[in-house]
Amino acid sequence: MIKKLSIKNFRGIEEVKDLEVDQFNIFIGDNGTSKTSMLEAIHFCFSPSFLSGRIKHTDFPNGNDNPIEIIVELKESIKVGIPDGYAEQEITCNKVLLQIKKRERKTPGKVFSDLVTLNHILIPDFPKNNEGWSIKRKNNSDFNFTERSLGINQIRTEELPRSFFFNKERDRQTQKGFNSSFSTIIDDLNWRFSRSVRKESEETGKPAEILGKIPLLTNEIAEKVGINKYEVFKEFNNRTKKFGLDEINLTILDSIAPYESAFLSSKKDVLDLPIKYLGSGIEMIVSLLFLETLATMSKEKLIILIDEPELHLHPRLQEQLADYLWQISSRKDGHQIFVTTHSPVFFKNCVGRSGVKTFVTNREEKTNKILINKMTFANRLFPWSPSWGEINYFAYKYPTIEFHDELYGYIQEKTKKHSEREIDEYFNQCGIKREKQWTREIKGTPQPTISVTLPVFVRNKIHHPENQTMKDILFTQEELKQSIEVLIDIVKNAKDFIND
């Protein structure tokens, strides 16, 4: 599993150095702050196949030529076998390095070349000498090797974790295709069927009984649609006869590989409904459960990367999924989870649990650089922190009237100043000027206009929509943010407020 992560010159990320992660990692922040790029960088680092063809020129920041570099440091060293002539030597490695450079010239002898060249290696956990690394063979001779021998496609290891990236198209792991878990299952089931049929034929000396049932079922289905009368096939076979070919029929069940067209489905009345029609949120959950079941049965550790797991899930399912992901990450030999999310529901159900780290991604205003920092509530505002208001404000810079109410009410409770006059006086003593005008109404009759602090004005507008005198005098989103900021300062500076 991953201990630290370093990324350089990948999409919007100029540099992230030695980011320490945990078993369950959550990235939250505004759009366009490279949350998804973090997940894809990890996935690229653990992807051994066809990686050069998946890199685009847009993966280099601003189209420049600076090489991409991704380094993953593992929590524990893994055993790796590297070629030594006709033999193999075992070493231990604790890092994966992926360097991607734009190709300077085309590959000799090829019309088309990949955009990039790769240096994708495992790094030993012992010191390097001037020429590479060296270990002793069993016969006490020196075995010297360089980076050339450490390519991720050349080494042998059973211990490097596999990564699975669930992007916004959730269905790949439940569809047939290259390197798909579902394809592995289908191939295994077809092999089991073939072996069983072959074994029965060898034992009885005649074709397996099931092979005689397949044409009967096919014919019964064909009769329902009148396939023998279907003009296309009648005309087609008239033409095949002229070439002396046997009759060609439409086969709906492969007797050699009966699972070839299989799909995961859910029974709805009498129909088998493919999971892709159950909604993309459900499809992602089914894909995840399917993948995790395979990994558990094979005692394999996974790095599971999910981009916005809350997509198309209602709040209750978001809570269930968040809880499930935490459970499979917190086991003794649990999987490692990385997710991006915009959902306070998903985040709220994870934060504060053991083994969970949250990172906030944002852009530095002056330099426009992507910053990724661990989110901490060590200096939390409330005893019940983090609240939804805090999450929305600190993670997404989104001020809400709910957060304003939460801060305002908490200050009133701690100061015991419950009347408008008392709390306004307290705010004024804290240095907040009375720069807003408020006209109170009593039974619909306007009273003399008074000057109040911004927090009192905002609070009154929220809680007194019935006030017709003030209905056209509104506060702006910027004023809401400004009021929240001064209330946060009050809570932070009043130390006796916190955690009591």
Rounded CA separation 449/15 (Å): 55
3-state SS record for 324-335: HHHHHHHCCCCC
Nearest to 500 by CA among 390, 384, 387, 402: 384
pLDDT digits (tens, 9 = 90+) for 3-26: 999 999 998 888 999 999 999 999
Quick check: is 492 in a domain? yes
Quick check: is 483 in a domain? yes
Neighbours of 119 (CB within 10 A): 15
Rounded CA separation 94/123 (Å): 6
Residue with tokens 């809401």: 480
Rounded CA separation 188/180 (Å): 13
Domain boundary among 253, 276, 299: 276
Which segment of 17-21, 250-254, 337-341, 409-413 scores lowest on mean pLDDT? 250-254
Q: How much is the pLDDT for 267?
A: 66
Quick check: is 219 in a domain? yes
Domain boundary among 241, 276, 311: 276
111 pLDDT above the threshold of 50: no
Residue 418: band (very low, low, confident or very high) from pLDDT cuts 50, 70, 90: very high
Quick check: is 59 in a domain? no
pLDDT digits (tens, 9 = 90+) for 223-265: 877 766 667 767 777 877 877 777 777 777 777 788 777 766 6
- Between the alpha carbon of residue 120 and those of residues 42, 69, 114, the distances in Å are 13, 10, 15
Cis peptide before 386 (omega within 30 of 0): yes
Quick check: is 296 in a domain? no
Identify the burial level of 445 via C-beta atoms within 10 angstroms of its C-beta, where 0-12 means exposed, 13-18 middle and 19 or more buried.
Answer: exposed
Q: Which domain holds residue 462?
A: 395-497
Domain boundary among 232, 250, 276: 276
- DSSP helix/strand/coil, 229: helix
Domain count, the chain: 2
Rounded CA separation 307/304 (Å): 10
Quick check: is 199 in a domain? yes
Quick check: is 40 in a domain? no
- Close Cβ partners of 118 (under 8 Å, ≥ 6 residues apart): 51, 52, 98, 99, 100
